[in-house]
Amino acid sequence: MYVFFILAFLYIAVSIIIRVTSGSHETISIGSSQIPIAAFAGVLSSLSNICLILLTLFFGKMGFYTALITILIQFPVIISVIIMHHNLNNLPGVFGNLLTLVTIIIIYFNNKELDAYQVRVRDQAVTDRLTGLPNRFACSELIDASHRDNDRTVVSDFVNPMQFGPTEDLESYPRDIVHDAKLVEEHGGDLIFHPDPSEMYHEGFSSFVDMTVLTEELCGLSRPVHFRGVCTVVTKLFNIVKPDRAYFGKKDAQQLAVIRHMVDDLNMDIEIIGCPIIREDDGLAKSSRNTYLNDVERKAALVLSEAVRLGMDMVRSGEKNCDTILSRMKSLIEAEPLARIDYVKMVDCATMQQIPTLDRPALCAMAVFIGKTRLIDNFFTEDVQEG
């Protein structure tokens, strides 16, 4: 900043000295050429104006006010020179300064508008499906919650390649930015975070955020690179947007626990809010991957929500033995020919480690393949009212 300011000051000082001390028809020799003093002063003034524009562009409020004061100082000097020397050759300098003044004002207030989203402001929030595409199935409720609680909502619409394994569905994962933009606008979102993967992970990218313990069970077992990708992209998102709150669905319960733990471990000043699972009328948890299912598979997928209801009923009736609950749930799922269990487990909410007895807040989580489509569902024992 100081370099631009010093250059601008020097250009202006020399320009003013030349204008004040020189007559209207004096020239200066540069090589074999004779250049009018007014023209030479105009060149210096133009260089100073360029420096002032750069000050405003790169140094925010301080640069803007420095440039503004500098330009306002020049006006009376140039006008005085015109009156004193009756030299209209200096008149273009007045218009040049006016143009520069308008330019720095436009730049400054455009930057202020952008900063409303890029720097921390009170009650700014970011909604997620960071793991995939915000869409009418998975994201509208999160946008609604954020819009209700905050002044501004930034919606992440980024399919993160880092959290997909080599055999997973990165290429076929649903993407429709036109539809999503309409959805975000309808539900009160203010900005969509939709970078190209090359912007998030430049050539030579080699820094990652990783975690142990919480990522070693459930999806972390069958998707070993997944949570390193989640933690890394969420950290980048938080650093870029700087929200006060972030909203994540409880359907991705392990992801929610991992992000909360990461925020606590790394002293991130952000509130993480978990939003309830949203279900279709027949009970199936809403998901982007539901679009993969054909009619037969869609009907078979109801076995996940049926197993959730069975497990909740057993907890409500007072059953404390986890193996008993899980065994009944697995039997129900295995009775569906199109279903193949990845896992059905009961884990500690805080550590994501398996537990034998319901003697603490627990998460019952499952991942089940219906045909080739992997679906997840869950319930928290704390959400179950004992009968």
Tens-digit pLDDT profile for residues 35-89:
565 565 566 666 766 776 776 666 666 667 777 777 676 666 666 655 665 555 5
Same domain for 266 and 321, yes or no, is no
Same domain for 154 and 244, yes or no, is yes
CATH number where 251 lies:
3.40.50.620
Same domain for 157 and 297, yes or no, is no
Give the chain's mean pLDDT. 81
Same domain for 79 and 221, yes or no, is no
User: Does residue 280 lie in a domain region?
Assistant: no
Same domain for 183 and 95, yes or no, is no
Is the model's pLDDT at 20 over the cut of 90?
no
User: Does residue 170 lie in a domain region?
Assistant: yes
Same domain for 113 and 130, yes or no, is no
**Which one has a higher pLDDT value, 242 or 127?**
242
User: Does residue 229 lie in a domain region?
Assistant: yes
Same domain for 16 and 40, yes or no, is yes
- Mean pLDDT over 9-38 rounds to 55
pLDDT at position 81 is: 59
∠ CA 359-363-365, rounded to 5°: 140
Same domain for 114 and 168, yes or no, is no
Boundary of a domain, candidates 103, 118, 133: 118
Q: Which range marks the domain in which residue 226 is found?
A: 124-275
User: Does residue 104 lie in a domain region?
Assistant: yes
Give residue for tokens 């024992």: 381
Give residue for tokens 């869409």: 135
Same domain for 96 and 8, yes or no, is yes
Boundary of a domain, candidates 118, 146, 175: 118
pLDDT at position 351 is: 96
Tens-digit pLDDT profile for residues 326-383:
999 999 999 999 999 999 999 999 999 999 999 999 999 999 999 999 999 999 999 9
Most confident of 58-72, 86-100, 299-313: 299-313
Tens-digit pLDDT profile for residues 136-162:
334 688 899 888 888 888 899 889 999
pLDDT at position 172 is: 81
Write the secondary structure of the chain as one string of H (helix), E (strand) and C (coil).
CHHHHHHHHHHHHHHHHHHHHCCCCCEEEECCEEEEHHHHHHHHHHHHHHHHHHHHHHHHHHHHHHHHHHHHHHHHHHHHHHHHHCCHHHHHHHHHHHHHHHHHHHHHHHHHHHHHHHCCCCCEEEECCCCCCCCCCCCHHHHHHHHHHCCEEEEECCCCHHHCCCCCCCCCCCCCHHHHHHHHHHCCCCEEECCCHHHHCCCCCCCCCCCCCCCCCCHHHHCCCHHHHHHHHHHHHHHHHCCCEEEEEHHHHHHHHHHHHHHHHCCCCCEEEEECCCECCCCCECCHHHHHCCHHHHHHCHHHHHHHHHHHHHHHCCCCEHHHHHHHHHHHHHCCCCEEEEEEEEEECCCCCECCECCCCEEEEEEEEECCEEEEEEEEHHHCCCC
Q: pTM of whole model > 0.85?
A: no
pLDDT band (50, 70, 90) for residue 230: very high
Same domain for 104 and 22, yes or no, is yes
User: Does residue 52 lie in a domain region?
Assistant: yes
Separation between Cα atoms, residue 300 and residue 294, nearest integer Å: 10
Is the model's pLDDT at 183 over the cut of 60?
yes
Q: Which two tokens stand for residue 320?
A: 């404390």
Tens-digit pLDDT profile for residues 261-275:
999 999 999 999 999
pLDDT at position 130 is: 35
Which is nearest to 65 in space by CA: 108, 94, 8, 6? 108
Boundary of a domain, candidates 118, 146, 168: 118
pLDDT band (50, 70, 90) for residue 31: low
